[in-house]
Structure 1
Amino acid sequence: MARRGKKLDDGLQEEIRAYYASCGNANETAKKFNVSWSTVKKIVAAHPDEFDKLREQKKENT
């Protein structure tokens, strides 16, 4: 992975959360943002309340 050892900024983490909320797939999200799937899981798990809000917004929009 290209970002090895580098801290992801808050904006990118928010994009990752939003994309994961829309697709629900850690592998797909990881490939899109060039990070590992475990990084995606850690980012999503760090703010579960925010993730739930994003998921609810997606459900409302569909």
Structure 2
Amino acid sequence: MGISGVIEVEATFDRPCGFLTVHRTSRLALAAGRVTDPEPYREGEDEEEPLSSGPTP
């Protein structure tokens, strides 16, 4: 879990889709969008390094 109870989510969109981010308590829509022309998924390619969540000891 991130700072202040925020959960970071990573997603790959490899086909057209729509999305909606909603605040659960108030049901307020925070963000909405659509992916109309995504890059095709290339299986077996090296994935990007994940972002660091803090300093490495």
**TM-score of the alignment, normalized to the shorter chain, above 0.5:** no
TM-score by length of 2: 0.23
Greater RCO (CA < 8 Å, at least 6 residues apart): 1
Larger Rg: 2
For normalisation by structure 1, the TM-score amounts to 0.22
Q: Structure 1 or 2: larger strand share?
A: 2
Task: Please identify which structure carries the higher helix content.
Answer: 1
